[in-house]
Chains A and B, each alone.
Chain A
């Protein structure tokens, strides 16, 4: 398309050589055309991403009444609070555990689906994607009922085995387990579909060659499947890590960060501090802490991707 525009630019230039020759020259350049074509998106990103991001940096430097510039005051205040360090720990625990289980379950399920004959595969793929397609706010409500201490299906079923009742959302450890469980349930299908796509792109002949070379099924996964899927695994993990780290809805609906702040993540705590307790600068400050942590993860993972990118 850019070429067509370039062509038009040249034709127009030929038709009126003297008129605005320099503008035509500039328009004729591919890079200029490309810039103008991407301009709407650049403006959109600037308005919806860049402006709020910079604004929150600005907010984080103000005092509670947003009247006075306090520099790094909010940050140093946070460092001294125990709850902040608990949220850091919980966010890391939540994101890392959930992503590991999502990746593991996604990988295993993708293998099962991959081995289903093509006829029935669409049906299974569709069904397995359901948790990911339902709006999480809705499905989390259903989970909330399942976790109810007195009347829930979980505790009712467990009572037959003489177990429980379990305080799913009432005890700090169980509550952490529950929010991770729901997040894994919600996110695993995304991994499944990405890994399935990656599995399908590995040529069958590599597996045949490996089978003849003497590899058993585990060695085939270890030496062929995993290296061939490496980039997809890395990018999916990074993507999921960011989304999981910044999770809000599941924790907000299930526990609202409780009991005793033991399930708060950055997003839910920032919401509580900033909106519910009306300290917007401190809330902005909390949410900004996600940036350096995720940036470090992104650098490590993307460096590996670009290093391996040339091989496959």
Chain B
């Protein structure tokens, strides 16, 4: 096991820059998830760590050694691919033991390791089958088994769950987490699914257009996003962004959303935002769970407003409500018993203690 470090790593294809100088430190035993939309450079980054792509510029270190020119087989890593990449002509046991056999491990040790990994992944019964005779979930387990038996310094996962159906994906997510708790190998995991990223990671790396937007624990990313991209990418339904501006009213600092709707900011927030120019175009970032039905007794910092709902989506434990604020679509989360109906007026409460204020032009969270 080892730590992994990326120093100003760049990947250029002809005239396209896929990865634009990223720095990342992954400590020993850590589970890191690279997440971002398609084409953000996350898979390229993973493949560079694996040695499957050359590095245009910068350094990649595994266990303190620069591995830029080390071929994949000598990096002591194991990778799980999106489509599993199991060898179709080998049985499960042969697939899992392939790497060990190439390295001429003693037969007894190979058998012991394969048996142990199969037990860990609950695929002992499948050991003599060919990949074609396995379901998607079973193939995924075999692919993980092939990685585990090698006992490598680093595990690399390239969107391993995206070929599975939704139910199986949740199940395998838990399996992967359990496996990591047992083997504790440093892991780099790539996904475009933010739920996977949040649930699995010790730290999440959000990437966009070849750059790292933010690195942090799932909670940090959720509650303290650094940019509009992160704020919008993490969380489902996504955070609302409502155009607004600050204004002074009777010695207090107000936030004005529309001609009709304006709220006084809570004191802590007012002190923080007081320095901002009043003319600046801003966005109020507020998550749906902080836009709820109004109560008789409101906490300080919680303000109410009236609106007419466009659409409601009952989800069982909550109801999502959609409405517009001067053309901006907004989503809220209310109690299923709050009486939200399509096209009906409703009084909603916004919790400004959990608001974010963003610069509309730069996307920076202020």
Contact = CB atoms under 8 A, between A and B. Distances in A.
A90 to B, nearest CB: 37
Contact of A216 (B50, B51, B73, B83): B73
Contacts of A210: 87, 98
Contacts of A211: 51-52, 71-73
A219 B78 CA distance: 18
Given A211-B73, A212-B72, A212-B77, A228 B132 contact: no
B99 to A, nearest CB: 4
A208 B52 contact: yes
B76 to A, nearest CB: 9
Contacts of B132: 310-312
B79 interface: yes
Given A209-B81, A310-B132, A312-B88, A215 B52 contact: no
B103 interface: yes
A208 B88 contact: no
Contact of A203 (B73, B85, B89, B103): B85
Contacts of A310: 132
Contact of A213 (B52, B88, B98): B98
B78 to A, nearest CB: 7
A208 B89 contact: no
Nearest to A208: B52
A182 to B, nearest CB: 36
Interface string B98-116: 1100110000000000000
B173 interface: no
Interface in B143-166: 146, 150
A212 B102 contact: no
B72 A205 contact: no
A216 B83 CA distance: 22
Chain B interface SS verdict (over half) = loop
A212 B71 CA distance: 8
Contacts of A239: none
B85 A213 contact: no
Chain A interface SS verdict (over half) = helix
Nearest to A308: B89
Interface in A91-134: none
B162 to A, nearest CB: 14
A210 B130 CA distance: 17
A312 B81 contact: no
A230 B89 CA distance: 10
Contact of B81 (A205, A219, A230, A311): A205
A203 B81 CA distance: 12
Contacts of B146: 209, 213
A206 interface: yes
Interface in B122-138: 130, 132
Contacts of B86: 209
A206 B89 contact: no
B14 to A, nearest CB: 12
A288 interface: no
A182 B132 CA distance: 43
Nearest to B132: A311
A223 interface: yes
A228 B81 contact: no
A196 B78 CA distance: 30
A212 B88 contact: no
Contacts of B51: 211-212
A311 B77 CA distance: 28
Nearest to A213: B99
A211 B79 CA distance: 10
A203 B99 CA distance: 19
A224 interface: yes
Contacts of A224: 87
Contacts of B77: 212
B79 A209 contact: yes
A162 interface: no
B156 to A, nearest CB: 8
Most central of A203, A223, A227 by chain B CB within 10 Å: A223
Nearest to A224: B87
A223 B90 CA distance: 10
Given A212-B50, A215-B73, A311-B130, A203 B83 contact: yes
Contact of B102 (A208, A219, A228): A219
Contacts of B98: 210, 213, 215, 223
A214 interface: yes
Interface in B20-73: 50-52, 71-73
Contacts of A215: 73, 98, 102
Interface in A211-236: 211-216, 219, 223-224, 227-228, 230
Interface of A: 203, 205-206, 208-216, 219, 223-224, 227-228, 230, 308, 310-312
Given A215-B102, A224-B87, 20 more contacts: A206-B87, A209-B85, A209-B87, A209-B146, A210-B98, A211-B52, A212-B50, A212-B51, A212-B77, A212-B99, A213-B98, A213-B102, A214-B99, A214-B102, A214-B103, A216-B73, A227-B89, A310-B132, A312-B88, A312-B89
28 contacts: A205-B83, A205-B85, A206-B85, A208-B50, A208-B81, A208-B85, A209-B81, A209-B86, A210-B87, A210-B98, A211-B51, A211-B72, A211-B73, A212-B50, A212-B72, A212-B73, A212-B79, A213-B98, A213-B99, A214-B73, A215-B73, A215-B98, A215-B102, A216-B73, A223-B98, A228-B89, A308-B89, A310-B132
Which 8 pairs, one residue from A and one from B, show the smallest C-beta to C-beta distance? A213-B99, A205-B85, A214-B73, A209-B85, A227-B89, A214-B102, A211-B72, A212-B72
